[in-house]
Chain A
Amino acid sequence: MNEISISEDTIKNIVEKYHGEKTALISILQDVQKEYSFLPKDALSLLSEEMEIPFSRVYEVSTFYNSFSLVPRGRHVIEVCAGTACHVKGGPKLRSRLEAELSIECGETTEDRMFTLEEVRCLGCCSLAPVVKVDSDIYAYLEEDKIPGILENYREERRQSGEN
């Protein structure tokens, strides 16, 4: 279920954008992830061939960095900040509440592929602690009890867009 069909042209174009430079591997992987929301295995094999980098190294880089995912992620990515300021101001409670509301653990995706819950080391918004980021929206001074409403807003948006 983790495989989707990838477009060979798309991958080749991304590699071309960086002139096939081996040093650009991380940027290339970021672009591929932007395209598919995760790094499909076929895309990694193709990159390895196109860039003449051993697959083991492409895989090493893909798994070393936190921002890459080898499994599909949800429509919305929720990042709970685990920075020090957030930690002392109640970040762990937000994480537990999100896990409970979504019935998943941090690092997992809901069954309906709506949300992926992740922990991020520090968003650098320490003055607004505790902070949760959903896609590119940052929720500052977040209180636990506001979480259900926030999640509902994203679900509602989806319903209104007329898709299932």
Chain B
Amino acid sequence: MARINNLQDLNKRREQGIASLFPSKIKVMVGEATCGLATGAGLVHNALAEEIEKQKLDIILSKTGCIGMCYREPLVDVMEPNRPRLTYSRLTPKNVPAFLNQILEGNHKSKKPYCRIDEDILIINGETKRYLNGDLPDDLAAIPLMSDIDFYEKQFKIATRNCGYIDPDNIDEYIARGGYFTLHKALSTMQTEEIIKAGLRGRGGGGFPTGYKWQSCREAHGEVKYVICNGDEGDPGAYMDRSVMEGDPHSVIEGMIIGAYAIGAHEGYIYVRDEYPFAVNALSLAISQARECGLLGENILDSGFSFDIQIGKGAGAFVCGESTALMASLEGRAGEPRAKYVHTVEHGLKDRPTNLNNVETWANVPVIVGRGSEWFSEIGIENNAGTKVFSLVGNIRNVGLIEVPMGITLQEIIYNIGGGIPKGKQFKAVQTGGPSGGCIPKEMLDLPVSFDELSKAGSMMGSGGMIVMDETSCMVDVARYFLEFLEGESCGKCVPCREGVRRMRQILDDICAGRGREGDVELLESMSEAIKDGSLCALGGSAPNPVLSTIKSFRDEYNAHIQDKKCPAGVCTELIHSD
């Protein structure tokens, strides 16, 4: 792979990428992120390859990441010169021969397309590239545009802009969608002020202003500084970071190089959890390509700036999503957090100034720097600029990964994008923020989604898991579930967290088994305060949230368990049998 030294080289690679994204012959592209593969995308890919080989067809077979429509997996896209890009859903290996025939014949005999894309608007520079040139063929008039289907209508993609559009293994396709042009621009003009003005807040959970963090790290004393990407997406129910690492690894790498340049760091780490093997593979390949192209390593883009990235793998510990624990783990130690009155931007990894952001934050950076802070700050709402990626899962019709502007309401997310609750069931609550978050009841569905509003509602943004629950979920059981999770994942350093969470879980066990006593709820509340006050890190500090938020909104359900010995949702088996 030739080295890229200047704008001319970059443009040459862009041309190659465009030729591959808008091919001059038929191209079939399979969505092969973890969720696609789990529903058989790999088998579909193999069947396609076999049939293409057998029939000696002149068709390009490629792969891509997750476009978000997990409820329709496995997905296959077909591109033909001057025709809209067509998305087919739920393909099986058995369908493949008939499917290929219909493509060659140009009909929809075996499979109707689910939706189409006529043009590709690049969010990073506003440029439009068309798949369809000329008039829309009659046979496709009835196929809806992807941007018109309910699932996409209200979405706005920044961090996930390339997922489902490019082959993550092909750096030219990333460049063709505007990638690494921002880096080129940044290496001559970039200032951290741009990120400060944009008002980007960290997408990992806490929502700390990214620009200020960068500035503090830049101003910190020390020759050697580090940047870290937190890919330890541990919140159960959240998988957006996996999707970005698998589907668009270069966006994270480009963001990190820009950040490192602004801060003055020359070494970076991406810490990926052990449960994400495909993400590690995609990142490793992307890093080695970037090195070959001179986008990582010495003298990047001939600018004199040098920076390189290593991957650190986690080993299964939720607490390692906490920045100081993550850094301890990167140093080869047990992931125990430390007090943060000494900031990591001054004393972080190996005691040196360190700037840590999560995957989604880094993926936002090239677009913000490319389009400018003013453009970015107009998306979303005040103090909550931009978009947020959510994994919309649980008991909801359109399960998948969505990216929406901040300020959209829960109602819109659950009923417009998500299509509501399946099987005629009633909505009960939506859980956000992972084990540090809470359950939001239907009375609060008008809530605009933002860092501040979710915190006010007793939950939090967290990394973006949104688990929808219907009437078959017992809120006491859900609270117990999270405490069980946190009990197992507490590192054990602070006694209130280690022992307190366990004791709270035992009380909830009793309530769920019909042994609840009067005063248990009050006891849980007072223990919650003690655990919040007495824990060093956010894991303990927010551990009682799932309990407090369910007590607040579903007190009746606690009472039914304790006083009437009944589980209204019919989940707590001991209470069903005793009825």
Q: State whether A129 touches B332 (Cβ < 8 A).
A: no
Specify which of B314, B331, B393, B434 is in contact with A129 (CB 8 Å cutoff).
Answer: B393
A121-B237 in contact (CB<8A): no
Question: Hey, which chain B residues are within 8 Å of A65, CB to CB?
Answer: 274, 314-317, 334-335
Within 8 A of B (CB), among A138-155: 138-140
Q: Check B315–A84 contact: CB distance below 8 A.
A: no
B37 touches A138 (CB 8 A): yes
Closest beta carbon of chain A to B24's beta carbon, Å = 35
Would B274 and A84 count as touching, CB distance under 8 A?
Answer: no
Interface centre among B235, B236, B401 (most CB of A within 10 A): B236
B543 contacts the other chain (Cβ, under 8 Å)?
Answer: no
Contact between B37 and A122 (Cβ–Cβ < 8 Å)? no
Interface-centre pick from B318, B467, B485, B489 (highest chain A CB count, 10 A) = B467
A61 touches B473 (CB 8 A): no
CB <8 Å contact, B332 and A89:
no
Interface size grouping (class) on chain B: 35 or more
A30 close to B394 (CB less than 8 A): no
- Give A20-32 as 1s and 0s: 1 = Cβ < 8 Å from B's Cβ atoms: 0111111101100
Known: A24-B332, A138-B38. A125 touches B239 (CB 8 A): yes
What size tier do the contact residues of chain A reach? 35 or more
B239 and A126 form a contact (CB under 8 A): yes
The smallest beta-carbon distance between A83 and chain B, in angstroms, is 4
Assess whether A123 is in contact with B275, with CB atoms less than 8 Å apart. yes
Q: Mark B320-342, 1 if CB is under 8 A from A, else 0.
A: 00000000011111110000000
A139–B391 Cα distance when bound, in Å, is 19
Contact B313 A26 (CB under 8 A): yes
* B70 contacts A by Cβ under 8 Å: yes
Q: Is B255 an interface residue (CB 8 A)?
A: no
Residues of chain A lying within 8 A (CB to CB) of residue B514: none
**Set A25, A67, A84, A128: member contacting B39, Cβ < 8 A:** A128
Contact between A60 and B334 (Cβ–Cβ < 8 Å)? yes
Q: Is A82 an interface residue when CB atoms closer than 8 A count as contact?
A: yes
Q: Is the pair B234, A89 in contact by a Cβ cutoff of 8 Å? A: no
Q: Does B400 contact A (CB under 8 A)?
A: yes
- Chain B residue, CB-CB nearest to A23: B332
Q: Is A120 an interface residue (CB 8 A)?
A: yes
Contact pick for A126, options B312, B465, B481, B485, CB 8 Å? B465
Contacts of B312 in A (CB 8 A): 26-27
Check if A124 sits within 8 Å of B242, measured CB to CB.
Answer: yes
Neighbouring A residues of B329 by C-beta, 8 Å: 26
B317 contacts which of A66, A126, A131, A139 (Cβ < 8 Å)?
Answer: A66
Given known A25-B332, A124-B233, contact A89–B395 (CB-CB < 8 A) = yes
| Cα distance A125–B41 in the bound complex, in angstroms | 14
Min CB gap A134→B, angstroms: 12
A88/B315 in contact, CB under 8 A: no
Complex formed: what's the CA distance from A125 to B277 in Å?
13
- In the assembled complex, the Cα of A45 lies from the Cα of B76 at a distance in Å of 51
User: Which chain B positions have C-beta within 8 A of A138?
Assistant: 34, 37-38
Which residues on the B side are within 8 Å of A21 (C-beta)? 332
**B274: nearest residue on chain A (CB-CB)?**
A67
Q: Tell yes or no: B431 within 8 A of A by CB.
A: yes
Q: Is B469 an interface residue (CB 8 A)?
A: yes
B-chain residues with CB within 8 Å of residue A14 when the two chains form the complex: none
Cα–Cα distance between A60 and B469 once the two chains are bound (Å)? 38
Complex Cα–Cα for A87 and B395 (A):
11
- Report the minimum CB–CB distance from B91 to chain A (whole Å): 15
Q: Which residues of chain B are within 8 angstroms of A136 by Cβ–Cβ distance?
A: 277
In the complex, the answer to whether B70 meets A121 with C-beta atoms within 8 Å is no
Identity of the chain B residue whose Cβ is nearest the Cβ of A127 in the assembled complex: B70
A67 contacts across to B, CB distance below 8 A: 274, 315-316
Known A26-B329, A61-B333, A140-B38: A126·B315 in contact at CB below 8 Å: no
Q: Give B370 Cβ to nearest chain A Cβ, in Å.
A: 29
Say yes or no: B334 contacts A127, CB within 8 Å.
no
CA distance A120 to B489 in the complex (A): 11
The answer to whether B391 touches A127, judged by C-beta atoms less than 8 angstroms apart, is yes
Q: Are A125 and B35 in contact (CB under 8 A)?
A: yes
Contacts of A139 in B (CB 8 A): 38
Contacting residues of chain B (43-81) with chain A, CB-CB under 8 angstroms: 70-71, 73
B117 to chain A, nearest CB (A): 21
Instruction: Tell me how far the C-beta of B37 lies from the nearest C-beta in chain A, rounded to whole angstroms.
Output: 7
The answer to whether A83 touches B39 (Cβ under 8 A) is no
Cβ contacts under 8 Å, B394 to chain A: 84-85, 88-89, 126, 129
Instruction: Establish whether residues A88 and B332, one from each chain, have CB atoms under 8 Å apart when the complex forms.
Output: no
Given A30-B274, A129-B394; 15 other pairs, CB 8 A cutoff: A26-B312, A61-B332, A61-B334, A64-B317, A65-B314, A66-B316, A68-B315, A121-B234, A122-B236, A122-B275, A126-B393, A126-B467, A127-B70, A127-B399, A128-B38
Name the 5 nearest CB pairs between A and B, nearest first.
Answer: A127-B70, A66-B316, A65-B315, A25-B332, A83-B236
- Residues of A bordering B, CB below 8 Å: 21-27, 29-30, 57, 60-61, 64-68, 82-89, 120-129, 131, 136, 138-140
Q: What are 13 pairs between A and B in contact, CB < 8 Å?
A: A61-B332, A64-B334, A66-B316, A67-B315, A82-B236, A84-B434, A84-B467, A85-B394, A88-B469, A89-B395, A124-B238, A124-B276, A125-B38
